[in-house]
Structure 1
């Protein structure tokens, strides 16, 4: 005679767990899984070299900001006067051949003017409105003429210019090649000194960002006479740089 006994769910748990472990059926949660990084098969000496490469360019783009500041006894009058004058400025920018994509409003502001007296709360005496646009000039030869034209039509704020290189990627690649050549030369020098040879490059990382041309300090421009020569502008030369960290494997 065969005796049978029903198994309760609690008594089945150890059996199910044992079967699952033996068959690998329990999946670990994603948070518990770890990715083991693949290590390069290095059999020699590792050498880490940092190098900087540079590319020199004459800037071919200029940026500047310009706008109008107006004052009036009340806020509405200040804004209306500012809009009238700013329309003239924007029209002059477009007349100079600046494309719409190179004209961008950077700020419209309205602030009260205060008068301060001893032992009394400040009193609003009027309002100041301002409107500023950023401009990208792709023909630097016309920059001085443009700045003068802006002042002639009513702009009383002109800041810049800053100079940039349009095709930055080509300059970056030139700087990268120069940095890599410098790193390779240094690695060869270290290897020769140690009586070794450079076997290969293990890794290359680019860090430190891209050195960009620095803008000329901000200045306020004014033109005294219409017969005066255009405002002189000298873009000079800009140096763009790239930093590389290169790891070499040295061996015999």
Structure 2
């Protein structure tokens, strides 16, 4: 037993000395910052968070305000500024617009992961990209806009249409809970022109569902190709909330981005 413990001590010492002799610090795992999109909330990442944390990653699932691209990007940028380690930003749906702007000027953001998400170029809007190709059936499923006292309108998906439109491959019971707890987005946010496109400078990865009814798969393929994505994963038949119905491939792609971007 003493010999075994002595061997382990030597092995650990040798491992530590290898980094010391090379002059390189031991690698630090990036912090994963997850940004949800419209009609969802931070809990939509729960399945992905469980996998990432089990694999040793620190995770922050941000509460995206959904008020406007510039506003929301600044909110996420402030979170990123408070993190000392490298960061991987992952955005779902409209959250892709947010991370594309939030990462601008932040050297610690090493990778962007788009999860059924928009990756607009400067001047483009989420609404414009969604309608660029046929296939989105979101508009007819929206409830009458809710006027806001300060001006503008909030958008929701009708609860009775939420399952089929937004989360068709999620159980009826879970989709019902998601529909009741959905976070609204302002109409203006979906029509706000993008001010920065960080995917032009930062390595990026894409994953989306082949059965997405919010962002047409053809639109996602276009954005991924334009961004010269390092990897594009299409989950056959998956809905817009691919991270809810298929957390495993989403988490694995985020981890792949974290590892490759840290080299």
Instruction: Classify the TM-score, shorter chain.
Output: under 0.3
TM-score (norm: length of structure 1): 0.18
Which protein is bigger by CA-based radius of gyration?
A: 1
Higher RCO (C-alpha under 8 Å, 6+ residues apart): 1
Q: Per residue, is there more strand in 1 or in 2?
A: 1
Q: Per residue, is there more helix in 1 or in 2?
A: 2
